[in-house]
Amino acid sequence: MDDKVILIVEDDKAIQNLLKIALKTDYKVDIVNTAELAIDYCVKNIVDLVILDLGLPDKDGMYVLENIRSWTKNLPILILSARSDDTDKVNALDNGANDYIQKPFSTTELLARIRVSLRNNIILEENSIFTNGDLVIDYIAHSIYLSGQEVHFTNFEYKVICLLAQNVGKTLTHNYIISQIWGMGGNDKNGLRVFMAAIRRKIEKNAYCDEIIRTDVGVGYRMNKI
């Protein structure tokens, strides 16, 4: 389960339940009912978002907000409050709240606003890196490394390598490779051979990856798992 974790800080049982029901299909939900417990929970657990009621029994919700913000700017906090006063809203928002939702609230709107906050918080570092022995392909950067050195491959060479890499261990027929690289029209086996030679030359010159690309006579080519 890789669901996001939402912490609800709320002492009113009715609203606790309402929120739990609204959120539980999309998120993992935990509930605490005091300021003290809220801070403690956030320090000790991985939380993706906090829904914070301002009216808590022990301390004001603003205290929780300020405390959390003193050690992380990266955790989205949504204030839920009956207070409709402008001052409260501005205060909360200026102290680091990501949104301020007034009671009574619509759960569909709340859900949408949760999605906004989680979306804004994404710090995405997609990790699509392929490794096979001394060969490393960084699909996002569009670059290939051999023995740790970046080596330049032309666009078509790159496409052929990626295709083989995405099918490690499987032999791809000439026609399949040609159709993937040149489209349906292409039918030049000789051309493909020239590219394979160029690719092999670069690999063999830059890394010890013996037999990483193998010829299946009469069938096609395959990349072996090293």
Partner DNA sequence: AATAAAGTTTAAAAACTTATTAAAAAAAAA
Partner DNA sequence: TTTTTTTTTAATAAGTTTTTAAACTTTATT
Question: What are the tokens at 63?
Answer: 């205290």
Residue 123 region by backbone torsions, left for phi larger than 0, else alpha for psi between -120 and 50, else beta: beta
- x/- site string to a copy of itself, residues 36 to 75, per CB under 8 A? -------------------------------------xx-
Q: Which option in DNA, a copy of itself, none does residue 86 bind, with CB closer than 5 to 8 A by kind? A: a copy of itself
CB of 13 to a copy of itself, least distance (A): 25
151-to-16, 33, 133, 138, 223 alpha-carbon distances in Å:
57, 57, 15, 12, 18
| Residue 116 binds a copy of itself (CB under 8 A) | yes
| Residue 175 binds DNA (CB under 7 A) | no
Question: Is the distance from CB of 221 to CB of 213 less than 8 angstroms?
Answer: yes
Question: What are the tokens at 186?
Answer: 């292409």
Q: Which option in a copy of itself, DNA, none does residue 55 bind, with CB closer than 5 to 8 A by kind? A: none
Place of tokens 């080596």: 151
Question: Is the distance from CB of 138 to CB of 160 less than 8 angstroms?
Answer: no
Name which position in 104, 169, 183, 185 contacts a copy of itself (CB under 8 A).
169
Name which position in 34, 67, 166, 171 contacts a copy of itself (CB under 8 A).
171
CB of 63 to a copy of itself, least distance (A): 19
CA-based end-to-end distance of the chain: 32
Name which position in 21, 43, 82, 90 contacts a copy of itself (CB under 8 A).
90
| Residue 190 binds a copy of itself (CB under 8 A) | no
Euclidean distance between CA atoms 148 and 207, whole angstroms: 9
Name which position in 195, 203, 212, 222 contacts DNA (CB under 7 A).
195
Name which position in 1, 155, 184, 205 contacts DNA (CB under 7 A).
155
* Cα-based torsion angle of the residue sequence 151, 152, 157, 163 in order, rounded to the nearest 10 degrees: 50
Question: What are the tokens at 183?
Answer: 């489209």
- x/- site string to DNA, residues 200 to 219, per CB under 7 A? xx-------------xxxxx
